[in-house]
Amino acid sequence: MGAAMRRIQVGSALSSFGVGFTVPFLYVYVAEVRGLGAAAAGIVLAAFAMAALVVLPFTGRAIDRRGPVPVLVVATLVAAVGALGLGFAAGEPTAILSAAVLGAGTAVIQPALATMIVWTSTPDTRTRAFATQFFLQNLGLGIGGLIGGQIVDESRPSSFTMLFAIEAVMFLVLAAIVGFVRMPYAPALGGAVPKGGSGAGGGLRALFRHRAMVQLCVLGFVLFFACYGQFESGLSAYGVEAAGISPSTLGIALAANTAMIVVAQFAVLKFVERRRRSRVIAAVGIVWAVAWLAAGYAGVGHGSMAMATAAFISTYALFGLGEAMLSPTVAPLVADLAPAGMVGQYNSAFALVKQLALAVGPAVGGPMGAALHGPYIVTFVLFSLGITFLAVRLGRHLTPVQDQPSLAKSRIVAEGGAPAEPQPATASA
- Same domain flag for 174 and 232: no
- Same domain flag for 173 and 214: no
- Same domain flag for 227 and 167: no
Domain assignment present for residue 9? The answer is yes
Domain assignment present for residue 284? The answer is yes
Structural domains counted in the chain: 2
- Same domain flag for 248 and 382: yes
- Same domain flag for 19 and 95: yes
Domain assignment present for residue 355? The answer is yes
The DSSP string of 102-138 is: HHHHHHHHHHHHHHHHHHT--HHHHHHHHHHHHHHHH
Q: List the chain pLDDT tens, one digit each, 429 residues.
A: 678 888 899 999 999 998 888 877 777 788 888 888 878 877 887 888 888 888 888 888 888 888 888 999 999 999 999 999 999 988 889 999 999 999 999 989 988 998 888 888 877 788 888 888 888 888 888 888 778 878 877 788 888 899 999 999 999 999 999 877 777 654 344 433 334 444 444 566 777 888 888 999 999 999 988 888 787 668 877 887 887 877 667 778 877 888 888 888 888 888 887 889 999 999 999 999 999 999 998 887 777 888 888 898 899 899 999 998 988 888 888 888 888 778 888 888 888 888 888 888 877 887 888 788 889 899 999 999 999 999 999 998 888 888 887 776 654 434 444 333 344 443 333
- Same domain flag for 173 and 299: no
- Same domain flag for 231 and 306: yes
91 DSSP assignment: S
- Same domain flag for 140 and 207: no
Domain of residue 357: give its range.
199-405
Domain assignment present for residue 186? The answer is no
Domain assignment present for residue 190? The answer is no
- Same domain flag for 152 and 226: no
Residue 193's φ and ψ, nearest 5 degrees, are -95, 125
Handedness of CA 116, 121, 123, 129 (dihedral sign): negative
pLDDT at 247 (0 to 100): 66
- Same domain flag for 391 and 254: yes
Domain CATH for 122: 1.20.1250.20
Domain assignment present for residue 160? The answer is yes
Domain assignment present for residue 119? The answer is yes
Burial label for 57, CB within 10 Å (0-12, 13-18, 19+), is middle
224 to 218, 227, 354, 355: CA distances (angstroms) = 10, 5, 6, 9
The DSSP string of 140-178 is: HHHHHHHHHHHH--TT-HHHHHHHHHHHHHHHHHHHHHH
Q: What is the pTM of this model?
A: 0.76
- Same domain flag for 280 and 328: yes
- Same domain flag for 151 and 221: no
d(C-alpha 64, C-alpha 62), whole Å: 6
Domain assignment present for residue 46? The answer is yes
pLDDT at 202 (0 to 100): 53
d(C-alpha 386, C-alpha 282), whole Å: 9
Three-class secondary structure of residue 405 per DSSP: coil
Q: Closest Cα partner for 313 from 295, 326, 290?
A: 295
